[in-house]
A and B are shown apart, each in its own frame.
Chain A
Amino acid sequence: DAGVTQSPTHLIKTRGQQVTLRCSPISGHKSVSWYQQVLGQGPQFIFQYYEKEERGRGNFPDRFSARQFPNYSSELNVNALLLGDSALYLCASSLGQGAASYTFGSGTRLTVV
């Protein structure tokens, strides 16, 4: 059974550009959460989507947005990229809204130059 899949695995963008990251949850999981992990730090919560609706938002600027599709896959969009957006972006899926059954993907490594 496939785990959480994220694409692309690596990405290099220029300051000011926009980026879209993609996540496919485990089959049957209806919740997708996004986390940002800066090098040397723990992951930080960005968004949670459950049943295609935003259910939680972390302390990130409006340049960050996301959506969830009818098949429960999700996209994270970041506009007007800053050097500080360079990080590993992790997607986690779970059956319900709680964090207790999180399974993380391997992430997308975003480098902003």
Chain B
Amino acid sequence: QQQVKQSPQSLIVQKGGISIINCAYENTAFDYFPWYQQFPGKGPALLIAIRPDVSEKKEGRFTISFNKSAKQFSLHIMDSQPGDSATYFCAASKEGSQGNLIFGKGTKLSVKP
């Protein structure tokens, strides 16, 4: 059973465009929703995270939108740059889960110059 579903699997965006990646979750007990960025040969690095008490969080060019009733959250990358080309993972966890992050399958983003 896949608890966090991520789409699309891959995404090609022109430089300066907006990249949008979506995730849906099943477990309403989840209370922490991070996005990770991973470059080839590296471990995932935390980009931005949100808790369900807010509907949006922005950090620089990265924004998380959160819809609790729909059990969905998304990552928006504004003014996408070639250096943003990487694989992005959404994840979810619940308090008391002893650090168990449930990851989506990932989205490979390519930003064309």
Contacts and interface: CB of A to CB of B under 8 A. Distances in A.
Contact of B43 (A50, A98, A100, A106): A106
B98 A55 contact: yes
A48 interface: yes
A41 B87 CA distance: 10
B25 interface: no
- In the complex, which range does the number of interface residues on chain B fall in? 20 to 34
Interface string B27-48: 0000010101000011111100
Interface string B88-113: 01010101011111111110000000
B99 A102 contact: yes
B98 A42 contact: no
Nearest to A90: B43
B13 interface: no
B41 A55 contact: no
A100 B100 contact: no
Given A42-B6, A42-B106, A100-B32, 4 more contacts: A43-B103, A48-B100, A56-B99, A97-B98
